[in-house]
């Protein structure tokens, strides 16, 4: 540890001498990942954006990351170590890092913190996330067009608003094409267990689903769809390699625009605590590549993406009826962000019972 | 293979097939641990050995393009990991529990390091067995005649282990060493050598179980993809009261509960999914309790020297 600090000091010194300017000209951006930096999904997408940051600011920004940090008290140590080691801005990239981030931020008022997927802010803590539901809606449209059985199988992790929002958006998209579309939902209660995700995909297919959607991290379900000659959607990263014939579209996380913007703000000294929830328009949520579908389906998907980007298409625009028949979103109204972030009901037409 | 829409027979066949494949990696890892424990060694490093087997199998298979080389690499890697445990726990007489847990942590970390450049690469599919006519029989066709080769290997391994342990002199020596190391030593058998070989066998089997995950079950590599299956295998050995036949039953039962809970959800019977996810573990615990009630039977099969280090007094 001490060696590390000394080395850092040397780096700062050399950098200072070379540029001949103040230390503020060169900053350090640090990233905390919950999985391995190359997990092929969630953490990898964050790490790709980190590398883009390094490239974009060529020489002006140094980055560092720590991977496999368990959510909970251990995270606090990892974040604090970064704060002590001279990081100017620290990105903590998992929901479970929320409280540890807030705690450490209190101790280091001069360090900027950016927490992904949470809801607690402070003077030096910003939060940011993506409007994945925009992509889910388009996936639903594609699924309804492509499915022969009219049933999609949906593999999900935990019943949190983020996940429920995705299921609802997918169903709304599917219903916009085929009002009788059905989805079967399986909760695997984990974000990452390739074996279990594969089992879930097999179970859903054996029960008649011919399109697989997932809100878990591994490409296992895609491989099962490929093996069975069916179709599937990828999650977090482009998973087309795992299902050359099965892959329809991956919901890709592109954090680069946000990270560049935030690091620039730190460099400029204009960084302020913000609450960002961006989607397709800002280039964060990317649905692509669109593969293995006829031209008319592709055209429909591209049209919807364009409309969402232009703000013409609102996913959660009323009338939306809840599963129990009551009004979810009134006719003509659009659900506000607060409603979405606390979403705990299914739209009408979903057969599953939402775990509470 | 084009999926036919879900008629009942197809669904039943699908369920049975999935149960068998879910049970296979557990069976591999558990059969190896069973032999190690029969010789009196408790190796808690199964999860780590599986992870090392999974990554080495995947790496070798995708580098050479030969799945069979992947399988061999996984077996060797599992044995190497096991020999590490064997040397430390047997010859240096370190605490077996601590060494085993250390092996698990070490294996998980090492596998991440080895597999670094293989993440995000799809594996090579291994074809399933296909016998004309027989494999096409309704329901049982693919179940009995159309599995992947590993499934048959796992069943054969369980049978061979039973035969070896209870019908051969070698098996008798292993059991003697596990039940009373000092008597076996007095009779002139090498306790440490026997145990070391048993531990190596355990490593080879765990490596195979890992390779099954990364080559067949989900042909891909990601760190921690074993996701706790090594620990389940450890529980299954106790569940089976150290008998290979019961181990097969236990693995299939565990597989069945974990697959059926997914089907129950997909049908939408409205039982909370958290409860369903717990079911395989609840069933294991309940079965353990039921088995433990028959003390006489349990004491007959439990290796009396399990987990106790052996130092020859000379």
Average of pLDDT values for B263-291? 81
Q: Which of residues 180-199 of A touch B (CB under 8 A)?
A: 184-190, 192-199
A75 Cα to chain B: minimum distance (Å): 18
% of chain A at pLDDT higher than 90: 78
Residue B167: pLDDT above 70?
yes
B59, B114 in Cβ contact below 8 A? Answer: yes
Looking at residue A188, what is its pLDDT?
92
Determine the average pLDDT of the residues in B179-203.
95
Q: Is B188 on the interface with A (CB under 8 A)?
A: no
Contact (Cβ atoms closer than 8 angstroms) between residue A9 and residue A16: no
Q: Give the per-residue pLDDT at B302.
A: 87
Q: Is any Cβ of chain A less than 8 angstroms from the Cβ of B105? A: no
The whole-angstrom separation of Cα A27 and Cα A267 is 7
Which residues on B lie below 8 Å from A39 (Cβ)?
119, 222-223
Per-residue tokens: A152: 């999609």
pLDDT range class, residue A45, cuts 50, 70, 90: very high
Please count the CA atoms within 13 angstroms of the CA of A39 that sit on its side-chain side.
Answer: 25
In chain A, which residues have their Cβ closer than 8 Å to the Cβ of B51?
A: none
Per-residue confidence (pLDDT) for residue A71, from 0 to 100: 87
Chain A residues with beta carbon closer than 8 angstroms to that of B6: 149, 206-208
Residue B141 distance to chain A (closest CA, Å): 16
Backbone angles phi, psi at A282, to 5 degrees: -85, -5
Report the run of H or E that residue A184 belongs to, with start and end: strand A182-187
Cβ separation B227–A202 shorter than 8 A: no
In this prediction, residue A24 has a pLDDT band, given cuts at 50, 70 and 90, of: low
B112 vs A: CB within 8 A: yes
Per-residue pLDDT for B231 more than 60?
yes
The answer to whether residues A135 and A167 touch, using CB atoms and an 8 Å cutoff, is: no
Does position A11 have pLDDT exceeding 80, yes or no? no
Decide if the complex's ipTM is over 0.90: no
Length of chain A: 356
b/e map of A165-189 (b: 16 or more CB within 10 Å)? bbbbbbbbbbbbbeeebbbbbbbbb
Average pLDDT over residues A59-86: 92
Q: What are the residue boundaries of the structural domains of chain B, listed by start?
A: 8-301
Work out whether the CA dihedral B92, B94, B96, B98 comes out positive or negative: negative
Per-residue pLDDT, averaged over B163-192, amounts to 95
What does the alpha-carbon distance between residue B27 and residue B149 come to, in Å, rounded to a whole number?
Answer: 14
CB-CB under 8 Å, B119 with A206: no
Q: What integer pLDDT is reported at residue B290 of this predicted model?
A: 81
Question: What is the dotted CATH code of the domain comprising B8-301?
Answer: 1.10.3470
For residues B164 and B170, is the Cβ–Cβ distance under 8 A?
A: yes
All residues of chain B having their beta carbon less than 8 Å from the beta carbon of residue A193 are 225, 227
* Mean pLDDT (whole number) for A178-198: 92
pLDDT at B2: 41
Instruction: Please report the pLDDT score of residue A22 as a whole number.
Output: 40
User: What pLDDT is attached to residue B50?
Assistant: 97
Average pLDDT of the residues in A50-59 = 94
Mutate to test the interface with A, among B273, B275, B278, B281 (most CBs of A within 10 A): B273
List the end-to-end C-alpha distance of chain A, in Å, as a whole number. 45
**Residue A4: other Cβ atoms inside 10 A:** 10
Q: Is the pLDDT of residue A343 over 60?
A: yes
Beta-carbon separation of B222 and A39 below 8 A? yes
Average pLDDT of chain A to the nearest whole number? 90
Q: Which of residues 48-107 of A touch B (CB under 8 A)?
A: 68
Position A19 pLDDT exceeds 50: no
Check: CB of residue A83 under 8 Å from CB of residue A108: yes
Domains and their CATH numbers in chain A: 2-130 (3.40.50.2300), 132-254+284-341 (3.40.50.2300)
With a cut of 50, say whether residue A2 has pLDDT above it: no
- Whole-number Å distance between alpha carbons of A10 and A1: 14
- B38 pLDDT higher than 60: yes
**pLDDT tens by residue, A116-133:** 988 899 999 999 999 999
Q: Which tens digit of pLDDT belongs to each residue from A260-293?
A: 999 999 999 999 999 999 999 999 999 989 999 9
Nearest CA-CA distance, residue A47 and chain B, Å: 14
- pLDDT tens digits along B52-105: 999 999 999 999 999 999 999 999 999 999 999 999 999 999 999 999 999 999
pLDDT-above-90 percentage for chain B: 62
- The per-residue pLDDT for range A212-255, each reduced to its tens digit, is 999 998 899 999 999 999 999 999 899 999 999 999 999 999 99
CB contact under 8 A, B223 and A36: yes
Average pLDDT over residues A67-83: 91
Higher pLDDT, A24 or A7: A24
B116 contacts A38? CB cut-off 8 A: yes
Do the Cβ atoms of B222 and A194 come within 8 Å? yes
| Measured distance CA(A212)–CA(A230) in Å, rounded | 8
Higher pLDDT, B289 or A169: A169
What count of CB pairs under 8 Å joins A to B? 141
Longest dimension (CA), chain B: 71
| Helices and strands: H and E segment counts in chain B | 13, 0
Task: Give the tens place of pLDDT for each residue, A308-318.
Answer: 999 999 999 98
Angle, CA of B29, B123 and A225, to the nearest 5°: 95
pLDDT above 80 (res B146): no
Report whether pLDDT(A150) > 80: yes
Contact B262 A242 (CB under 8 A): no
pLDDT surpasses 90 at A64:
yes
Question: What pLDDT was estimated at residue B314?
Answer: 56
The CA distance from B252 to B210, in Å, is 18
Does the beta-carbon distance from A204 to B266 stay under 8 Å?
Answer: yes
**How much is the pLDDT for A274?**
95
| Distance (Å, whole) CA A95 – CA B25 | 32
Q: What is the mean pLDDT of chain B?
A: 89
Percent of chain A, pLDDT > 70? Answer: 93
Of A193, A207, A218, the CB nearest to B263: A207
- Residues 6+ positions from B30 with CB-CB distance below 8 Å: B233, B234, B236, B237, B240, B247, B250, B251
Which of A12-26, A189-203, B141-155, B283-297 is most confident?
Answer: A189-203
The helix or strand, by DSSP H or E, that contains position B290, with its residue range, turns out to be helix B273-293
CA atoms of B228 and B218, how far apart (whole Å): 15
pLDDT average, residue stretch B285-293: 79
With beta carbons under 8 A apart, name residues in chain A contacting B108: none
What is the spatial distance between Cα B84 and Cα B80, in angstroms, rounded to a whole number?
Answer: 6
Q: According to the model, what pLDDT value does residue A292 have?
A: 96
SS3 A299: helix
- Assess contact for A279 and A131: CB atoms under 8 A: yes
- Burial status of residue B271 (CB atoms within 10 A of its CB: 0-12, 13-18, 19 or more): middle
Q: Per-residue pLDDT for B5 more than 50?
A: no
Spatial separation of the C-alpha atoms in residues B261 and A340, rounded to whole Å: 30
Answer whether B9 touches A (CB < 8 Å): no
The DSSP string of B52-88 is HHHHHHHHHHHHHS-HHHHHHHHHHHHHHHHHHHHII
d(CA A307, CA A301): 10
- Strand, coil or helix: A72: coil
Mean per-residue pLDDT for A186-195?
89
The Cα B195–Cα B100 span in angstroms is 15
């Amino acid at each position: 540890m001490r060696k590390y600090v000394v080395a850092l000091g040397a780096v700062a010194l050399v950098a200072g001498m070379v540029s001949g300017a103040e230390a503020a000209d060169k900053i350090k951006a640090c990233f905390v990942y919950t999985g391995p930096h190359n997990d092929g999904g969630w953490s990898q997408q964050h790490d790709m954006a980190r590398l883009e940051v390094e490239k974009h600011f060529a020489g002006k920004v140094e980055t560092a990351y720590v991977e496999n940090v368990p959510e909970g008290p251990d995270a606090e140590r990892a974040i604090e170590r970064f704060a002590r080691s001279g990081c100017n801005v620290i990105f903590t990239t998992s929901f479970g890092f929320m409280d540890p981030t807030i705690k450490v931020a209190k101790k280091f008022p001069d360090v900027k913190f950016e927490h992904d997927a949470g809801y607690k802010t402070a003077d030096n803590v910003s939060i940011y996330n993506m409007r994945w539901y925009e992509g889910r809606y388009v996936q639903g449209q594609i699924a309804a067009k492509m499915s022969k059985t009219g049933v999609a199988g949906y593999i999900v992790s935990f019943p949190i608003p983020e996940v429920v929002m995705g299921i609802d958006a997918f169903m709304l998209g599917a219903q916009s094409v085929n009002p009788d579309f059905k989805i079967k939902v399986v909760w695997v209660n984990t974000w990452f267990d390739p074996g279990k995700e594969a089992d879930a995909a097999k179970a859903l297919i054996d029960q008649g689903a011919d399109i697989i959607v997932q809100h878990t991290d591994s490409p296992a379900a895609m491989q099962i769809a490929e093996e069975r000659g069916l179709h599937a959607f990828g999650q977090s990263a482009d998973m087309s390699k795992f299902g050359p014939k099965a892959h329809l579209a991956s919901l890709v996380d592109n954090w680069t625009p946000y990270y560049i913007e935030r690091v620039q703000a730190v460099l400029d000294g204009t960084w302020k605590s913000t609450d960002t929830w961006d989607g397709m328009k800002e280039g964060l949520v990317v649905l692509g590549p669109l593969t293995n579908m006829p031209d008319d389906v592709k055209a429909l998907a591209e049209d919807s993406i364009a409309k969402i980007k232009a703000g013409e298409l609102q996913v959660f625009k009323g009338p939306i009826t809840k599963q129990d028949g009551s009004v979810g979103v009134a006719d003509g109204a659009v659900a506000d962000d607060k409603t979405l972030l606390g979403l705990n009901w299914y739209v009408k037409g979903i057969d599953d019972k939402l775990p509470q | 293979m084009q999926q036919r829409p879900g008629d009942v027979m197809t669904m039943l066949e699908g369920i049975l097939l999935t149960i068998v494949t879910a049970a296979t990696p557990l069976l591999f890892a558990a059969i190896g641990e069973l032999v190690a424990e029969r010789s009196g060694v408790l190796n808690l490093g199964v999860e780590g050995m599986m992870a090392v087997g999974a990554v080495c199998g995947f790496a070798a298979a995708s580098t050479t393009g030969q799945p069979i080389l992947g399988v061999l690499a996984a077996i060797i890697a599992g044995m190497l990991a096991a020999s590490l445990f064997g040397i430390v726990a047997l010859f240096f007489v370190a605490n077996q529990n601590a060494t085993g847990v250390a092996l698990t942590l070490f294996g998980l970390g090492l596998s991440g390091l080895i597999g670094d450049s293989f993440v995000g690469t799809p594996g090579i599919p291994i074809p399933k067995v296909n016998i004309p006519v027989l494999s096409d029989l309704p329901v049982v066709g693919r179940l009995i005649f159309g599995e992947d080769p590993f499934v048959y290997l796992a069943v054969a391994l369980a049978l061979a282990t039973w035969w070896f342990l209870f019908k051969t002199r070698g098996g008798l020596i292993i059991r003697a060493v596990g039940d009373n190391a000092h008597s076996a030593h007095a009779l002139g058998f090498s306790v440490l050598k026997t145990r070391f070989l048993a531990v190596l066998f355990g490593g080879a089997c765990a490596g195979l179980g890992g390779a099954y995950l990364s080559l067949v079950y989900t042909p891909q590599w990601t760190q921690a993809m074993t996701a706790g299956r090594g620990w389940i295998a450890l529980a299954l050995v106790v569940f089976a009261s150290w008998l290979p036949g019961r181990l097969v039953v236990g693995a299939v039962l565990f597989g069945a509960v974990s697959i059926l809970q997914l089907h129950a959800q997909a049908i939408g019977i409205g039982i909370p999914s958290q409860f369903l996810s717990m079911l395989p573990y609840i069933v294991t615990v309940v079965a353990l309790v039921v088995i433990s009630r028959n003390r006489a039977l349990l004491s007959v099969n439990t290796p009396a020297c399990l987990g106790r280090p052996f130092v020859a007094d000379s």
